[in-house]
Amino acid sequence: SNLGDSRQILSEAIAKLKSLGEVKVSKLYQSPPMGPQDQPNYLNAVAQLKTELLPLDLLDQLQRFEQEAGRVRLRHWGERTLDLDLLIYGNEKIQNERLTVPHVGILQRDFVVIPLLDLDADLHINDQPLKNLELIQQPTLTVLADESWA
């Protein structure tokens, strides 16, 4: 989130995720925008959700939560009130017109990898241990709050 009261928007999103199952949340981070630089910094976190929902049903719920938060897609990688991505779904690999899991580009984004490591320091994606990725050596993000922020 980088529009509106981002911290409050993220807290509300976590509360909505809890309606879908058990949730564990990473630290809260601030990072520079990945796309156009003429926008505010982002607040980022990763949530681990244990749910019975199938992947596409979960994606539908995430997109509903985005809409409820006033999400408008103005430009690619542009500013937004809320962006909820389905990063991984257990050990499944999913590739269809609506969903790719693991999420495309996940291993190139420190604002995703570092919060994932908060939740599982030994996490592997595509047989790659995240803790060994070079991008975490010089992160572009800063910690704003610990695990109890949500």
Which one from 7, 57, 83, 110 is the annotated catalytic residue?
83
The answer to whether 75 is a known catalytic residue is no
Which one from 80, 109, 110, 118 is the annotated catalytic residue?
80
The answer to whether 83 is a known catalytic residue is yes
The answer to whether 85 is a known catalytic residue is yes
Give dist(CA 50, CA 31) in Å, integer: 27
8 A C-beta contact, residue 101 and residue 92: yes
Taking CA atoms, 29 is separated from 118, 126, 145, in Å, by 11, 25, 7
Give dist(CA 75, CA 94) in Å, integer: 26
Amino acid letter, residue 81: T
Which one from 5, 57, 60, 71 is the annotated catalytic residue?
71
Which one from 7, 38, 75, 85 is the annotated catalytic residue?
85
The answer to whether 7 is a known catalytic residue is no
Catalytic residues: 71, 80, 83, 85
